[in-house]
A and B are shown apart, each in its own frame.
Chain A
Amino acid sequence: MLRVRAGYCGGTKENPSYYDLGDHTEAVSIDYDPEVISFEGMLKHFWAAHQPTRNNASRQYLHALFYRCEAQKVAADLSLSAIAAERELPERKIETEIIPVREFTYAEDYHQKYYLTQYPELRDFLTGTYPTGKALADSTVATRLNAYLFSGMDNARERLEREIDSYDLPGNLKTLASSRI
């Protein structure tokens, strides 16, 4: 993953915010390297990460795939058909919605890289480097630290050690990050 941002999309209300969301849904926007994984590969992770035969009545918390172009819509529709076939269900039983993203609004600063709030020293360094919420949300370093320290992924330590020198962390924070996985 190159970048991961929390935000709101899919609706029509202008300038949505957490306390005034209108018809938008809470969502994540993930930038990924297409030389490493395809859109179809990302879709497999999406379907595996939720229960598609149940959806929320609230638009705020929908299970939804937000497409950005016709090619993404086609791929998403095909993946929904494949999930239904795999589960031997009619497609109407798959409640996950496939809808246009329209505009993606970044969530408030305090929603970005939330888990790093458990490490104030790391978070302070990152917010000092990137004072705007958009910049912090767009940071690959913040994205990776947030994921490696809290995801529980099998090879988090190896990945962190391989790339931590490129994070430009002060020595004490480098030691802190390495010691907490």
Chain B
Amino acid sequence: MFSRRNSPTLPLPVEDGTISAQTLKLDRETAEKSYETITFGLG
């Protein structure tokens, strides 16, 4: 069985507005906060 790392044919996830990390306390807290997003490339 191949993992995602070894399987270039399996699509990677895209941003969809869902926060899928909500197990740890801080993650649960920050998942509920309003936020904005900035995206950039730095070479």
Query: Which residues from chain A sit less than 8 Å from chain B, CB to CB?
Result: 2-3, 5, 7, 9-10, 15-17, 19-20, 25-35, 39, 42-43, 46, 49-50, 55-56, 61-66, 68, 72, 101, 103-110, 129-130, 132-136, 138-142, 144, 163, 166-168
B12-35 vs A, Cβ < 8 Å mask (1 yes, 0 no): 111100011101111101100111
| Chain B residues whose CB sits within 8 angstroms of the CB of A20 once the complex forms | 8
A30→B37 CA distance, assembly (Å): 5
Query: Which residues from chain B sit less than 8 Å from chain A, CB to CB?
Result: 4-5, 8, 11-15, 19-21, 23-27, 29-30, 33-43
Interface SS of chain A: helix, strand, loop or mixed? mixed
Contact at A130–B23, with CB atoms within 8 Å? yes
Given A31-B35, A103-B15, answer yes or no on A139-B42 (Cβ-Cβ < 8 Å). no
Indicate which residue in B13, B30, B35 contacts A106 across the interface (CB closer than 8 Å): B13
| Chain B residues whose CB sits within 8 angstroms of the CB of A105 once the complex forms | 12-14
